[in-house]
Amino acid sequence: MGEWLQFFELNEQSWSWDQQKAEEAWRKMNVIRAFEEKSIELYKQGLMGGSLHSYIGQEAVATGVCMNLNTDDYITMTYRGRGQAIAIGADPYKLFAEMLGRKDGYCKGKGGPMHIACRELGILGANGIVGAGIPIAVGSALTAKYRKKGQIAVTFFGDGATNQGAFHEALNLAAILKLPIVFVCENNLYSEMTPIKYSTLNEDLAERGAAYRIPSIVVDGNDVRAVFEATKAAVNRARLGEGPTFIEAKTYRLAGHMFGDAETYRSKEEVAEWRQKEPIKRFQQVCLQEQLLDEQRLNEIQNQIYKEIDTAAQQAMEAEQPGMEEIFTDVY
């Protein structure tokens, strides 16, 4: 298995981004964070239906992966997938509108916080069923292979999904057909409220990709630079027709599994420790140390983003709701 499994370490000596790329990463991560914080605020006010699963703390994964994708690539994600949607270019206004049940939402307000889809952005769906997006992405990768237009598929899923049967069937099919797909496992250490170590003996879940003879990489999921570089190689492999790659991004969700989670399964000390190495704070330090962006510019971008998110949320709250005649349209 050794030849199929790698532990990615960023080469600090040779790593280099220009100001534009640093700003892109800083902007995307902050839009995701601001959006998620605002979503919690709206949820607390009782303005959303369904359940809200925050992506706060995992912003580097969505950002680092999606910065490598083209506009005609495909992605699937989980019920925590607003981060990936924003990273691939979704409009925060339309996302808020969806979550608030407005007709301008990506699914005309019928999907809620857990079900975002947009064909124009290649988003084949966030999925409320654990692991269900994985075989959908494999199907789209099969389509991409036959169309021969250089498209690839990326599927985001959590650590708990690696114990689902569909996960194993999908990996086997992708490996044997050499499909252009990148499997991105966001290992935030908890399968809902259960520590992953209680349900899986593998310390590194990337071993499961290696078991299917898929090149598999373990990467620091809280370092947007490392995620970007590891994904870059995986995406290149896929576009060159060399088959799938499995990336395990080790990260941590800073909020509960969903809003209202009492978090009795983890200590405050553990959460506090991870807050010290959360992705936005870490990348801010890199930008300052490498003199990519100064403190004034970082704050300027961040403040602007929070204002834009406030505006998008307000506009969504004021947007029109679907009419009663729409109640059975597009519902399956």
What does the pLDDT read at residue 2? Answer: 77
Burial of 158 (0-12, 13-18, 19+ CB in 10 A): buried
Q: How far is 93 from 77, CA to CA, in rounded Å?
A: 20
Lowest mean pLDDT among 69-78, 110-119, 140-149, 212-221: 110-119
Q: How far is 188 from 295, CA to CA, in rounded Å?
A: 29
Interval 88-95 mean pLDDT:
97
- The DSSP result for 104-117, as a single string, is TSTTTT-SGGG---
Looking up tokens 């059975």 gives: 328
Q: How far is 53 from 268, CA to CA, in rounded Å?
A: 19
Coil vs helix vs strand at 315 = helix
Mean pLDDT value across the chain = 95
What sign results for the dihedral spanned by CA atoms 104, 108, 113, 117? negative
Give how far the C-alpha of residue 209 lies from the chain's centroid of Cα atoms, to the nearest Å: 19
What does the pLDDT read at residue 131? Answer: 94
266 token code pair: 């983890």
pLDDT band at 112 (very low <50, low <70, confident <90, very high): confident
pLDDT band at 328 (very low <50, low <70, confident <90, very high): confident
Q: How far is 219 from 38, CA to CA, in rounded Å?
A: 29
What sign results for the dihedral spanned by CA atoms 96, 100, 101, 104? negative
Burial 256-282 (b: 16+ CB within 10 A, else e): bbbbebeeeeeeeeebeebeeebbbeb
Interval 281-308 mean pLDDT:
97
pLDDT in tens, 133-169: 999 999 999 999 999 999 999 999 999 999 999 999 9
Q: Is the pLDDT of residue 288 over 80?
A: yes
Coil vs helix vs strand at 3 = helix
Q: What phi and psi, each to the nearest 5 degrees, are found at residue 34?
A: -65, -40
**Cα distances (angstroms) measured from residue 131 to each of 23, 302, 319:** 33, 33, 33
Q: How far is 111 from 90, CA to CA, in rounded Å?
A: 15
What does the pLDDT read at residue 329? Answer: 87
pLDDT in tens, 120-133: 999 999 989 999 99
The closest of 242, 222, 253 to 182, measured between CA atoms, is 242
